[in-house]
A and B are shown apart, each in its own frame.
Chain A
């Protein structure tokens, strides 16, 4: 599945490790919450970059104490309709101050890219090739945003405040 990061298709430098697989050495690995809970001591000691994959019923509060160990958190969308991970990403960014990579995995579709970006996701395992090709178009569709998000897009409220300030200063 193609991985999109910073707007470009990128090679994935992370390797997913199954719950019963031998831990490979020397590469960046992604484990499940279950594996992390089981092999925590072993995983903490190994000095390879660590990522974790959370299902949509596994809120990041479960790993809040351990966030420092993870360079990547993959949040799963089992179906696009299951929108829990949007809130998880917001929480990770806004409330827990998580600075690592947040990856959208699962049923990741074109018409959701922008919402995901705005909630703090910064890499995307895109399901369909043609959605990858449409990445730029999908993001260009909207340029006005009412809500503050976890991204750098300026919400309308701030733009209005700036307008008022500019008016006052002239």
Chain B
């Protein structure tokens, strides 16, 4: 993984001290809250319902065990012994004290971490594929471009006061695990017909109250020109993005109102004016320098199938179930990708205790070459596990309540913080996720239901990605009563789509039954081996509407 050089480290250290000064000015009263707000937001510090919330960046989701231990340490020392992994490959602490935050950031800096630009109207933490570097279908590790973008976007003098926040995601595989089409900019690494590697560029996707799947504006962008091209997009957006209406300020609105083709032309015009021989042009040796950090680790030569592993699978059905759901294929024979579910049945999606984080750090060292990934579905991924170690790893995970065998199943739910933490919420999200999780659990029924992604947001801002849930649940408010609107058929992968509203919203006591009805309808309509989304795309909304509202 990437390691800071003296420049990276110096910048983060200076940023900590700069923020310490800003906090001191706030505490002394020199700064009013409204003046302090943009400063703290530039550093991931929100004021929530009950307390401050600090959002720490995990750039493109990669962590070492040392960093994981630091996250545990911070949870213990400055918070209430837990942290919350988010859909944007960040971790949030819900209870830090303002005066402690500079020290937290200082601790983070010692392990090459920061909270820079995890909020505010600037370029946010770059996100990527949790299987980067280990997916068989990958053209190039997307973390190389992500790190280049991380550096370029950090404290960008021109783009720190954009009309609205700006999110960039990168994938290196044709199978998109990073939901790039619902980002302000989505990059797919591709190979052109000359065999050169570059980027396909999508712009203007997003969720929130106006969900959109981003159109493609560039078929092939050479690697060296990446930053110049991004700068062109951002400059057009910075000048023309709407600033009169918060809800129309994202780039998706500009792209939509301008038209994708015309917008693409404006970017090309601006791009033509930027000096591409100058310092924005990425020199090959800088690309190589960063690439070297993401080179394959020293893999062993292992048999494609470990006999011991096969034997354990047939001996222990619980282990076999976990393997079937949580373990993915690795590009190197004999290795496996292991997903750790942070969705225990009835638990809070994405939460991990300090003790769990420490335990995971041990397991990273022991079984996964010291590395882990945070996924946009609020789970964790161990990228380099030998098949022969899977059984031992599974047992250790079980001991820490981290072996729930439910990746991509109906209980692997994304939920926003909702009314429990968030002052914009109409409804609770977390308790609903817990109830659904308990209703369906793991085991035969859940296995029969198969891949089904439920995503819950407590309000139209869509932090819980409900638009792209196979089943999306949105908290709406009707005269002070919590209601939930259900959408079906959303998806965030390479065939991204937005869900269709199924009908009138449900009250809290009816919504779980409604989910059950939807599931039963699917199981009834399903043809051989069809997943929920496939069935939905075949049969459409009608049968679901019928069963849901028939009685009423």
Residues of A within 8 A of B (CB): 59, 80-84, 86-88, 90-91, 94-95, 109, 111-112, 114-116, 118-119, 130, 137, 141-149, 155-161, 164
Q: Name the residue of chain A whose CB is nearest to the CB of B238.
A: A87
Which residues of the partner chain B approach A141 to less than 8 Å between Cβ atoms? 14, 17-18, 21
The DSSP consensus for interface residues of chain A is helix
Residues 226 to 264 of chain B near chain A (Cβ within 8 Å):
235, 238-239, 243
A161 adjacent to B161 (CB under 8 Å): no
A135 to chain B, nearest CB (A): 14
B280 adjacent to A148 (CB under 8 Å): yes
A147 to chain B, nearest CB (A): 6
A83 adjacent to B238 (CB under 8 Å): yes
A160 adjacent to B10 (CB under 8 Å): no
Binds A, one of B98-106, B281-289, B351-359: B281-289
**Cβ-defined partner of B279 (8 Å) among A84, A87, A157:** A157
List 16 A–B pairs whose Cβ atoms lie within 8 Å, in order of A's numbering.
A80-B161, A83-B238, A87-B239, A90-B235, A111-B22, A111-B38, A118-B158, A119-B157, A142-B11, A144-B11, A148-B278, A157-B279, A157-B286, A160-B5, A160-B289, A161-B283
**How many B residues are at the interface, by size bracket?**
35 or more
Which residues of the partner chain B approach A158 to less than 8 Å between Cβ atoms? 279
CA distance A94 to B11 in the complex (A): 25
Residues 1 to 57 of chain B near chain A (Cβ within 8 Å):
5, 7-8, 10-11, 14-15, 17-18, 21-22, 30, 35, 38-39
B210 is an interface residue with CB less than 8 A from chain A: no
B155 is an interface residue with CB less than 8 A from chain A: yes
**Cβ-defined partner of B30 (8 Å) among A87, A130, A161:** A130
B273 is an interface residue with CB less than 8 A from chain A: yes
Which residues of the partner chain A approach B286 to less than 8 Å between Cβ atoms? 157, 160-161
Which residues of the partner chain B approach A59 to less than 8 Å between Cβ atoms? 239
Which residues of the partner chain B approach A112 to less than 8 Å between Cβ atoms? 161
Residues 139 to 166 of chain B near chain A (Cβ within 8 Å):
151-152, 154-162
B15 adjacent to A142 (CB under 8 Å): yes
B315 to chain A, nearest CB (A): 54
B392 is an interface residue with CB less than 8 A from chain A: no
Assuming the contacts A84-B238, A86-B157, asked whether A142 and B7 have C-beta atoms less than 8 A apart, the reply is no
Residues 162 to 189 of chain B near chain A (Cβ within 8 Å):
162
Q: How many A-B residue pairs have CB under 8 A?
A: 107
Greatest chain B CB density within 10 A among A91, A111, A149, A158 is at: A111
Which residues of the partner chain B approach A156 to less than 8 Å between Cβ atoms? 7-8, 11, 151
Q: Name the residue of chain A whose CB is nearest to the CB of B234.
A: A87
Residues of B within 8 A of A (CB): 5, 7-8, 10-11, 14-15, 17-18, 21-22, 30, 35, 38-39, 121, 151-152, 154-162, 235, 238-239, 243, 273-275, 278-280, 282-283, 285-286, 289
B238 adjacent to A146 (CB under 8 Å): no
CA distance A53 to B224 in the complex (A): 37
B300 to chain A, nearest CB (A): 33
Q: Name the residue of chain A whose CB is nearest to the CB of B278.
A: A148
**Cβ-defined partner of B283 (8 Å) among A109, A118, A157, A159:** A157
Greatest chain A CB density within 10 A among B157, B273, B275 is at: B157
A149 adjacent to B157 (CB under 8 Å): yes
B22 to chain A, nearest CB (A): 7
CA distance A145 to B15 in the complex (A): 12
Assuming the contacts A86-B238, A115-B160, asked whether A144 and B10 have C-beta atoms less than 8 A apart, the reply is yes
Which residues of the partner chain B approach A145 to less than 8 Å between Cβ atoms? 155, 157
CA distance A116 to B160 in the complex (A): 11
A82 adjacent to B161 (CB under 8 Å): yes
Which residues of the partner chain A approach B278 to less than 8 Å between Cβ atoms? 148
**Cβ-defined partner of B157 (8 Å) among A114, A130, A159:** A114
B243 adjacent to A82 (CB under 8 Å): yes
B14 adjacent to A142 (CB under 8 Å): yes
Greatest chain A CB density within 10 A among B21, B239, B285 is at: B239
B17 to chain A, nearest CB (A): 7
With A137-B21, A147-B280, A160-B5 given, name 9 new contacts (CB 8 A).
A83-B158, A83-B161, A95-B274, A115-B158, A119-B157, A141-B14, A142-B155, A146-B155, A161-B285
A91 to chain B, nearest CB (A): 8
CA distance A143 to B160 in the complex (A): 17
A49 to chain B, nearest CB (A): 28
A100 to chain B, nearest CB (A): 20
A119 adjacent to B158 (CB under 8 Å): yes
B270 to chain A, nearest CB (A): 9
Which residues of the partner chain B approach A111 to less than 8 Å between Cβ atoms? 22, 38-39
